Structure 1
Amino acid sequence: MDEVVVLRLSNHLPELDRLAEAVEAFGERHRFPRKMVYQIRLVLDELLTNVISYGFSDDRNHEIEVEIRLADSRLLFRIEDDATPFDPLRADTPDLTSTVEDRAIGGLGIHLVRKLMDSVRYEHRGGKNRLFLEKIIS
C-alpha cells in the first residue's frame, strides 16, 4: 500500500519534534523495525538541523517541505527549501581515522546520510534546494 505524508515545517529547530513524531507514527503504521525508524529520524534530523541552522541569512520565516512516501519496498523522501543553494553531496568525506580532537569539524552528518540511505540525490531548481533520499525496505 502506497502512502504519502507531506509536512510543512518552519525554519525553527523546535519543528524537528513535529518531524520526529511524524516519522515515528509512519513507522508504527507500517510496522518498520525500530532500528530503521531510528536511522530515518537521525538522517532527517541531521539534514534539517543543517538547513535551519546554516541555510537562511535572514530572520524571516521560511517553509521547509518534507515528503515521506512509501512505494512498494522503497521509502522515498524529498526535502525542499528556499535556503541558500547548497549541495550536501559535494561535502568532503570526513577523515574517520583521526582522533576526535584532530578531526575537522563538520561532515559527519552527510557521511551518516550516505551510509544509512540507499541513494541520495540533490538538485537546485526554481530557487529551491531539493534533496531526494531512498531507503530500500528489506
Structure 2
Amino acid sequence: MDKTMMLNMIQNYYKLNKDIEFASLLGISSQVLSNWKKRNTFDAQLIYTKCLNINPEWLLTGKDPMFKAALQTEAAQDNINYKELAEARLEIIEGLKFKVKTLEKELSELKYAQKETFLYSNVAESTPELIKKTSK
C-alpha cells in the first residue's frame, strides 16, 4: 500500500483536515509531513508511538487490519475529538513561543543592565585616579 495513502488514512481517522494539525499530533513540522508525502515515506516508529490503536504490522506492510485487533472495537467507540486536541496543542505551542520570547527579552534587558552596572563601576573606580592626575 502507498505510504502517502496510509498517512492520509491515519489523518482521516483522527479527523484532522489540515496537514499542520496532523503534523502537530505527530510532533513534527508540517514541512516534514509534506516531505513524507512527496517522497512516499514516513517514520513508522514515530507514528506508532503517537497514533494509538494503529496496528504496527499495517504500518510496516500495509496489510489490513489498520487497527490492532484487540483495540479495533475500542477505536470505533473512541469519542475523543483529535482535531480539538491538535488545536489545543497548537495553542500550547504558541503560548510557549510567546513565553520564550518574553524570557529572551528579559534576559536581554538583564544583560544590558549588567553591562551598564559594569561601566558605572569602572567609572567610579577610575574617578579618584583621574582627580589625582588632574590636581597635580
User: Normalising by structure 1, what TM-score?
Assistant: 0.22
* Greater relative contact order structure (CA < 8 Å, 6+ sep): 1
Q: Greater helix percent: which structure?
A: 2
**Structure possessing the higher radius of gyration over alpha carbons:** 2
